[in-house]
């Protein structure tokens, strides 16, 4: 598990002890070591290293290794990045460093980003190979590498909430902010599960499927998928938490309301059919 934030007090201690990676064993009294997860606290969230962001929305220049160009900066930037990595390495227990590049809304010009990273990787591997091996990686690649070292990791048993960025700011307001939005998610979840169960029952009922063509099945799938999409979007960490801006909050609510309306007609039709098949009585209409 890779996480961007923990309590500032805990992070200060972990930085000093080079324990920014650990084994998390929640409810160890009940589960022992049966349930545990390797946890990595990222140094700088999921952002590019400060001063080395080649994105078009950043002010940092791309890494340029062609000495024929006036924009050549490889030697200078490489030394600066070496200093950054040396500081980075003081926080982690192994020689493997997981350095992220990106951030929200970046990679609009992906070519510029990757050309800069390609040049940096090639330059370091050619000129700093006695100290570093640079490569594109994934979380799985990194985990496999550190796991192969058979390092003994520290263990954490308690949870990480609430946490603070500094002694005066705790991340607790989102537990109750935008109560109406949280209620919408709760009602939407109930509605999604109820309608999905009914749709599944209807779809596998031979009496229902024999009397219905594929068009009805497609309508069921469309209604279900529309509701699932809206609920899935609402699970974003700045949606159900209530930390989004107001116009974005309106959009989440609007999407879920539209999805509910789309699902309601199909849900009503299937409910009518189920009531009729179970009771022999055909209600005229179900209104929600």
Q: Which residues of 133-144 are buried (b: 16+ CB within 10 A; e: fewer)?
A: ebeeeeeeeebe
- 137 in helix, strand or coil? coil
The label of the residue with tokens 């994934």 reads 138
Q: What gap in Å lies between CA 278 and CA 96, rounded to an integer?
A: 63
In this prediction, residue 269 carries a pLDDT of: 87
Q: Note whether 149 and 94 are within 8 A (CB).
A: yes
Tens digits of residue pLDDT in 227-270: 999 999 999 999 999 999 999 999 999 999 999 999 999 998 88
Domain over 173-279 is classified CATH 1.20.1270.50: yes
What own/partner pairs with CB < 8 Å and gap ≥ 24 does 58-67 have? 58/106, 62/112, 62/115, 62/116, 62/119, 63/116, 63/117, 63/119, 63/120, 63/123, 64/119, 65/119, 65/120, 65/122, 65/123
pLDDT higher than 60, residue 126: yes
Tens digits of residue pLDDT in 156-174: 998 888 889 888 888 888 8
Of the chain, the percentage scoring pLDDT greater than 70 comes to 95
Q: What is the mean pLDDT of residues 26-42?
A: 88
Q: What gap in Å lies between CA 189 and CA 181, rounded to an integer?
A: 12
The three state secondary structure string of 81-113 is HHHHHHHHHCCCCCCCCCCCCCCCCCCCCHHHH
Q: What is the mean pLDDT of residues 31-43?
A: 91
In this prediction, residue 153 carries a pLDDT of: 97
The label of the residue with tokens 């080079």 reads 18
Which is it for the CA torsion 12, 14, 20, 23, positive or negative?
A: negative
Same CATH topology for 2-170 and 173-279: the answer is: no
Q: Domain 2-170 adopts which CATH fold?
A: 7-stranded beta/alpha barrel (3.20.110)
pLDDT higher than 60, residue 287: no
Domain coordinates of the chain in residue numbers?
A: 2-170, 173-279
Phi/psi region, residue 48 (left: phi>0; alpha: psi -120 to 50; beta: rest), is beta
In this prediction, residue 89 carries a pLDDT of: 97
In this prediction, residue 273 carries a pLDDT of: 82
In this prediction, residue 283 carries a pLDDT of: 66
* Reported confidence tier of residue 205, pLDDT bands at 50, 70, 90: confident
State both tokens at 179. 């109560």
In this prediction, residue 154 carries a pLDDT of: 96
Tens digits of residue pLDDT in 51-70: 999 999 998 999 999 999 99
């Amino acid at each position: 598990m890779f996480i961007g934030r923990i309590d500032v007090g805990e992070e200060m201690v972990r930085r000093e002890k080079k324990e920014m990676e650990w084994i998390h064993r929640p409810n160890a009294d009940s589960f022992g070591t049966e349930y545990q997860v390797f946890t990595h606290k990222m140094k700088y969230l999921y952002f590019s290293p400060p001063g080395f962001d080649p994105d078009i929305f950043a002010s940092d220049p791309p890494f340029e290794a062609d000495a024929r160009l006036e924009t050549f900066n490889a030697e200078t930037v490489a030394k600066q990045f070496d200093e950054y990595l040396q500081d980075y390495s003081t926080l982690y227990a192994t020689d493997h460093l997981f350095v992220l590049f990106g951030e929200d809304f970046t990679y609009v010009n992906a070519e510029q980003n990757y050309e800069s990273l390609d040049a940096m990787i090639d330059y370091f591997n050619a000129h700093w190979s006695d100290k570093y091996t640079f490569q594109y990686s994934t979380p799985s690649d990194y985990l496999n590498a550190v796991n192969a070292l058979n390092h003994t990791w520290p263990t954490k048993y308690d949870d990480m909430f609430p946490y603070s960025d500094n002694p005066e700011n705790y991340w607790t307001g989102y537990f109750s902010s935008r109560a109406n939005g949280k209620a919408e998610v709760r009602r939407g979840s109930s509605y999604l599960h109820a309608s999905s169960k009914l749709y599944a029952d209807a779809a596998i009922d031979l009496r229902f499927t024999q009397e219905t063509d594929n068009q009805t099945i497609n309508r069921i799938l469309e209604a279900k998928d529309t509701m699932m999409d809206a609920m899935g979007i609402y699970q974003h960490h700045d949606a159900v938490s209530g930390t989004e801006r107001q116009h974005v909050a309106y959009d989440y609510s609007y999407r879920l309301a539209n999805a509910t309306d789309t699902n309601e007609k199909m849900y009503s039709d299937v409910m009518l059919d189920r009531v009729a098949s179970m009771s022999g009585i055909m209600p005229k209409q179900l209104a929600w």
